[in-house]
Structure 1
Amino acid sequence: MNVSISCEKTTKLTLKAAFSAIINANKDLITKSLSQLILRLKSSQQERSLTQRELLILRLAEQYPNDVGIFSALFLNYIRLEPGQALYLSANEPHAYLLGECIECMAASDNVVRAGLTPKYIDTKTLCDMLTYNQGMPEILSGINLNAYTKRYSPPFDEFEMESCMLPIGQRMRLSSIEGPSILIVLGGSGTLHERDGNAQSLQFGDTVFLSAGTEYDVITNPASKGNLQFYRAGVNSRVLLMD
């Protein structure tokens, strides 16, 4: 008997039972329990400094009053990403974006299941049944430098990878040719995208552009741009495209 595997299985079952019991509790019990939790934390705040997780619970309670999803803060990792950092999540792993802005790239999916902290449709039973209940901290990616302006983030999934580019005013760079199609989105500044055949396309905040496979592009920041040209490029993971 593999004791390690047995303990891991038991831990997952215990975690599932605890999470399911809370997330599926009746509304009256949820409201009462949250009220008691918030009252205790506010009282403790008069005597000591609260932990980051405790402060998070209070903030979520203001943003989503009486929402059962607030209890998820006691089960999930609380991660604060710095600019330029990224993380990846496998299928059937719960997550919630709490503050700030990010770029999200997803594999093709016909469904997203929610259980709290949202005004959208909630399906707690399906969520509890589908989660992996794996434990541990996710890997934080800092990206690989492709050139002076571009970083690539490659998760261990075949479906996608992403490049982040910050091109200063007055600079130009070449987007290398890749074997698969990709999508570019502009989130700052302005510039021009030039194809090798001479065609050019203006790039402005909010623009999205389909980039053909096997095609090189030159990108130039507009000298009159109000800031650096910031864009992201997403496509199939390059390791798949390099396979024979």
Structure 2
Amino acid sequence: MDSTPSQKNLLRLRCSVQNYDWGLKGHDSRVARLYARNSGSETRPDSPYAELWMGTHESGPSFVVQAPRASNGVSVDVDDDVGVSLKKWISENPNVLGDKVLRNWGCDLPFLFKVLSVAKALSIQAHPNKELARALHKALPDVYKDDNHKPEMALAITEFEALCGFISIEELKGVLCNVPEIVELVGSAYANQILHINEQDGEEKVKSVLRSIFTQLMSASKEMITKVLSNIKSRLQIESQVRKLTDKELLVLRLEKQYPADVGVISAFFFNYVKLNPGEALYLGADELHAYVSGECIECMATSDNVVRAGLTPKHRDVKTLCSMLTYKQGFPEILQGVPLNSYVRRYLPPFDEFEVDQCILPHGASTVFPAVSGPSIFLVMAGEGIMHAGSSKGEVVTEGDVLFAPANTEISIESESELQLYRAGVNDRLFQASL
């Protein structure tokens, strides 16, 4: 397909913000600062700013900004700046997606790009696979709004904490010995199944026993959960006088303050506690249990907002669905460090076709090129100022908070005027390599 000249240019986007109550408040939130710069709006100091959404999802759409840039690089801030939604614009110009993306996913972006600012833990959750997503959407469309799966990746901007996947059976045996309150909650019969199993019993048997005890835990009565959490809290406070509490025990006490009498606090003992340094990434497939705990990150995922929750949340809980859908895979998750593409750019490639993320840190006065790729990209300027060119077109001044859409088959070159930090989301390169 041949693109018209206008379809080879960068499109500036005005993006949407989500004010979920777990977000960092006011100017403490990077999401708030980016959104203020992107939209020209004021930041409310007492309001939480949780997620900046960049993409075509109807729950947080991006819009094509029609107004030109002022000479100082600042967007002209009038309501008429926001024109059509990015999704509508793409539907009218489908060739900007490239042939392979159009064939695989139709006339839409297959990925959703976000920034998260996390002040307190998100829910214990998992995202359904495609088949389950279709079934849940059909049965409960008001709760499960998409029929698509939602694999995702979190790339730490600051130190970032998460719970992700189940600890090994050997570690879980240690938990049952050291946290007697859990045995009290689930009953000795379930606990003994774990204590007497070993890896020689086979992977499916181990997963079956883990599923049984986890389902029993998550299905406990509110009265029992309140009692057991109180006992855990009291015991740990006493023991902290004579020994140093473990990181997991300290986390459980933090979570209890955020979500008193919530079963999700107790379930944290079952999960891997992951601490990412800036520049490290964690990816999560369908049906993998997780909960982000604190920090700020870039997030990218398949275009979906399907979440099955069962703890650490005031929102709708679906314990039965969550416990039945999980993979019950055990062991510490893989941490991605990124692959250097050149001196300034690192690429994070999760095992999902829908997306990849590039991180670019460009020193003052440096330049780099993002070669033309066969799918669309979204660029986010996190900090600094520079000039961005699409192909041989005249450069655009870009600064913190700018979000730009680049059509498929468009080379992007960037020059920095101060240290420039930006991120690019695009379709996973492996999809295009496979077709060569």
**One-letter code aligned to 2:385:** S
Deviation of 1:19 after TM superposition, in Å, equals 1.1
Pairing of 1:18-33 with structure 2 (within 5 A): 18-33=213-228
CA pair 46-5 structure 1, distance change in 2 beyond 3 A:
closer
**One-letter code aligned to 1:232:** Y
Paired residues of 2:380 and 2:401 also in contact (CA < 8 A): yes
Deviation of 1:151 after TM superposition, in Å, equals 0.3
Q: 1:155 aligns to what?
A: 350
* CA offsets 1:49-98 (integer angstroms, 9 cap, x no match): 01111111111111222221112211110111111111211111011111
Pairing of 1:84-99 with structure 2 (within 5 A): 84-99=279-294
Alpha-carbon distance in 2 for matches of 1:31, 1:18 = 19
Tell me the TM-score normalised to structure 1 length.
Answer: 0.91
Look up the SS of the partner of 1:114 in the other structure. Answer: strand
Does 2:420 align with 1:229? yes
Does 2:211 align with 1:211? no
Pairing of 1:34-53 with structure 2 (within 5 A): 34-53=229-248
Does 2:370 align with 1:175? yes
The RMSD of aligned alpha carbons is 1.8
Does 2:315 align with 1:120? yes
Look up the SS of the partner of 2:308 in the other structure. Answer: coil
Alpha-carbon distance in 2 for matches of 1:120, 1:219 = 43
* CA offsets 1:211-238 (integer angstroms, 9 cap, x no match): 1111111112234xxxx21111111110
**One-letter code aligned to 1:150:** V
Does 2:245 align with 1:80? no
Q: 1:243 aligns to what?
A: 434
CA pair 171-120 structure 1, distance change in 2 beyond 3 A:
farther
Q: 1:199 aligns to what?
A: 394
Deviation of 1:24 after TM superposition, in Å, equals 1.8
**One-letter code aligned to 1:87:** L
5+ residue gaps, structure 2, are 1-197
Paired residues of 2:217 and 2:267 also in contact (CA < 8 A): no
Deviation of 1:99 after TM superposition, in Å, equals 1.4
Look up the SS of the partner of 1:240 in the other structure. Answer: helix
Give identity over the alignment, percent. Answer: 51
Does 2:301 align with 1:106? yes
Alpha-carbon distance in 2 for matches of 1:173, 1:163 = 13
Alpha-carbon distance in 2 for matches of 1:118, 1:133 = 21
Tell me the TM-score normalised to structure 2 length.
Answer: 0.52
Alpha-carbon distance in 1 for matches of 2:379, 2:314 = 30
Alpha-carbon distance in 1 for matches of 2:425, 2:208 = 37
Look up the SS of the partner of 1:87 in the other structure. Answer: strand
Size of the aligned set, in residue pairs, is 238
Deviation of 1:6 after TM superposition, in Å, equals 5.5
Deviation of 1:127 after TM superposition, in Å, equals 0.9
Q: 2:149 aligns to what?
A: none
* 2:360 aligned to which of 152, 158, 165: 165
Pairing of 1:123-138 with structure 2 (within 5 A): 123-138=318-333
Does 2:206 align with 1:11? yes
Deviation of 1:119 after TM superposition, in Å, equals 3.4
Alpha-carbon distance in 1 for matches of 2:336, 2:396 = 32
CA pair 5-181 structure 1, distance change in 2 beyond 3 A:
farther
Alpha-carbon distance in 2 for matches of 1:186, 1:27 = 46
Alpha-carbon distance in 1 for matches of 2:388, 2:316 = 40
Alpha-carbon distance in 1 for matches of 2:209, 2:304 = 29
* CA offsets 1:90-125 (integer angstroms, 9 cap, x no match): 111011111111111112335111112233322222
Q: 1:65 aligns to what?
A: 260
Look up the SS of the partner of 2:294 in the other structure. Answer: coil
Deviation of 1:4 after TM superposition, in Å, equals 6.7
Paired residues of 2:199 and 2:206 also in contact (CA < 8 A): no
Look up the SS of the partner of 1:72 in the other structure. Answer: helix
Alpha-carbon distance in 2 for matches of 1:110, 1:86 = 20
- Bigger Cα displacement from structure 2, 88-97 vs 3-12: 3-12
Alpha-carbon distance in 2 for matches of 1:233, 1:173 = 13
**One-letter code aligned to 1:107:** A
Alpha-carbon distance in 2 for matches of 1:42, 1:5 = 38
Paired residues of 2:300 and 2:355 also in contact (CA < 8 A): yes
